[in-house]
Amino acid sequence: DSGVTQTPKHLITATGQRVTLRCSPRSGDLSVYWYQQSLDQGLQFLIQYYNGEERAKGNILERFSAQQFPDLHSELNLSSLELGDSALYFCASSVEFGRASTDTQYFGPGTRLTVL
Protein backbone atom coordinates (compact mmCIF):
# COMPACT_ATOMS: atom_id res chain seq x y z
CA ASP A 1 0.00 0.00 0.00
CA SER A 2 1.60 3.24 -1.20
CA GLY A 3 -0.52 5.51 1.00
CA VAL A 4 -2.05 7.23 -2.04
CA THR A 5 -5.78 6.64 -2.38
CA GLN A 6 -7.91 7.02 -5.45
CA THR A 7 -11.65 6.83 -5.91
CA PRO A 8 -13.54 5.37 -7.57
CA LYS A 9 -11.73 2.18 -8.52
CA HIS A 10 -13.91 1.66 -11.57
CA LEU A 11 -16.07 4.07 -13.54
CA ILE A 12 -18.28 3.28 -16.50
CA THR A 13 -19.92 6.11 -18.36
CA ALA A 14 -21.14 7.15 -21.79
CA THR A 15 -19.63 9.35 -24.47
CA GLY A 16 -20.26 13.04 -23.92
CA GLN A 17 -20.45 12.71 -20.16
CA ARG A 18 -18.30 14.31 -17.48
CA VAL A 19 -16.60 12.50 -14.61
CA THR A 20 -14.45 13.44 -11.64
CA LEU A 21 -11.63 11.31 -10.31
CA ARG A 22 -10.35 11.89 -6.83
CA CYS A 23 -6.92 11.43 -5.27
CA SER A 24 -5.65 11.76 -1.73
CA PRO A 25 -1.86 11.99 -1.51
CA ARG A 26 0.33 10.41 1.15
CA SER A 27 0.41 12.30 4.40
CA GLY A 28 2.97 15.08 4.15
CA ASP A 29 3.27 15.02 0.35
CA LEU A 30 2.76 18.37 -1.34
CA SER A 31 2.95 17.31 -5.00
CA VAL A 32 0.25 15.43 -6.83
CA TYR A 33 0.63 14.07 -10.36
CA TRP A 34 -1.93 12.64 -12.75
CA TYR A 35 -1.09 10.03 -15.37
CA GLN A 36 -3.09 8.26 -18.04
CA GLN A 37 -2.24 4.66 -18.94
CA SER A 38 -3.70 3.20 -22.09
CA LEU A 39 -2.80 0.10 -24.06
CA ASP A 40 -1.37 1.98 -27.02
CA GLN A 41 0.18 5.02 -25.33
CA GLY A 42 1.70 3.61 -22.18
CA LEU A 43 1.97 5.79 -19.08
CA GLN A 44 1.52 9.45 -20.02
CA PHE A 45 2.01 12.37 -17.65
CA LEU A 46 -0.95 14.73 -17.60
CA ILE A 47 -0.43 17.38 -14.95
CA GLN A 48 1.29 18.16 -11.64
CA TYR A 49 0.21 20.32 -8.73
CA TYR A 50 2.45 21.45 -5.92
CA ASN A 51 0.88 22.84 -2.76
CA GLY A 52 -2.23 23.93 -4.60
CA GLU A 53 -0.54 25.46 -7.62
CA GLU A 54 -0.22 23.98 -11.09
CA ARG A 55 3.45 23.23 -11.60
CA ALA A 56 3.84 21.24 -14.80
CA LYS A 57 1.64 20.23 -17.67
CA GLY A 58 2.04 17.27 -19.98
CA ASN A 59 -0.17 15.84 -22.67
CA ILE A 60 -3.43 16.90 -21.08
CA LEU A 61 -6.37 17.57 -23.35
CA GLU A 62 -8.31 20.80 -23.06
CA ARG A 63 -11.37 18.72 -22.12
CA PHE A 64 -9.50 17.62 -19.00
CA SER A 65 -8.78 19.79 -15.99
CA ALA A 66 -7.48 19.28 -12.50
CA GLN A 67 -7.11 21.09 -9.24
CA GLN A 68 -5.51 20.60 -5.85
CA PHE A 69 -7.44 21.72 -2.82
CA PRO A 70 -6.17 23.30 0.43
CA ASP A 71 -6.22 19.89 2.12
CA LEU A 72 -3.95 18.74 -0.75
CA HIS A 73 -6.34 16.22 -2.25
CA SER A 74 -6.74 16.53 -5.99
CA GLU A 75 -9.46 15.98 -8.53
CA LEU A 76 -9.17 15.28 -12.24
CA ASN A 77 -12.18 16.33 -14.27
CA LEU A 78 -12.76 14.71 -17.64
CA SER A 79 -15.51 16.18 -19.82
CA SER A 80 -17.09 15.53 -23.21
CA LEU A 81 -15.80 12.00 -22.88
CA GLU A 82 -14.84 10.02 -25.97
CA LEU A 83 -14.28 6.32 -26.46
CA GLY A 84 -10.55 6.96 -26.63
CA ASP A 85 -10.53 8.34 -23.10
CA SER A 86 -11.02 4.83 -21.76
CA ALA A 87 -7.88 4.12 -19.77
CA LEU A 88 -6.38 3.69 -16.33
CA TYR A 89 -5.85 7.01 -14.57
CA PHE A 90 -3.19 7.09 -11.88
CA CYS A 91 -2.46 9.65 -9.28
CA ALA A 92 0.97 9.87 -7.69
CA SER A 93 2.33 12.02 -4.91
CA SER A 94 5.73 13.09 -3.65
CA VAL A 95 7.07 15.34 -0.95
CA GLU A 96 8.31 17.96 -3.39
CA PHE A 97 9.32 17.33 -6.98
CA GLY A 98 9.84 13.58 -7.02
CA ARG A 99 13.42 13.51 -8.25
CA ALA A 100 15.32 11.80 -5.46
CA SER A 101 15.34 8.48 -3.67
CA THR A 102 14.11 10.31 -0.60
CA ASP A 103 11.45 12.10 -2.63
CA THR A 104 10.11 9.55 -5.06
CA GLN A 105 6.69 9.48 -6.64
CA TYR A 106 4.30 7.04 -4.98
CA PHE A 107 1.44 5.83 -7.15
CA GLY A 108 -2.12 5.10 -6.17
CA PRO A 109 -4.03 1.99 -7.31
CA GLY A 110 -5.65 3.83 -10.23
CA THR A 111 -9.15 4.42 -11.54
CA ARG A 112 -10.29 2.35 -14.50
CA LEU A 113 -12.45 4.53 -16.75
CA THR A 114 -14.56 2.87 -19.40
CA VAL A 115 -16.41 5.08 -21.87
CA LEU A 116 -19.16 3.29 -23.80
Partner 1 sequence: GESVGLHLPTLSVQEGDNSIINCAYSNSASDYFIWYKQESGKGPQFIIDIRSNMDKRQGQRVTVLLNKTVKHLSLQIAATQPGDSAVYFCAESLNSGYSTLTFGKGTMLLVSP
Query: Per CB under 8 A, does 60 bind partner 1?
Result: no
In the range 13-42, which residues lie near partner 1 by CB under 8 A?
A: 33, 37, 39, 42
- 115 binds partner 1, rule: CB under 8 A: no
For partner 1, how many residues bind (rule: CB under 8 A)? 29
One-letter-per-residue 3-state SS of 30-65: CEEEEEEEECCCEEEEEEEEECCEEEEECCCCCCEE
Q: Are strands 111-115 and 53-57 parallel, antiparallel or unpaired?
A: unpaired
Please check whether residue 22 is in contact with residue 4, taking contact to mean a CB–CB distance below 8 angstroms: no
Binding site for partner 1 (CB under 8 A): 2, 4, 33, 37, 39, 42-45, 48, 55-56, 58, 88, 90, 92, 97-101, 104-110, 112
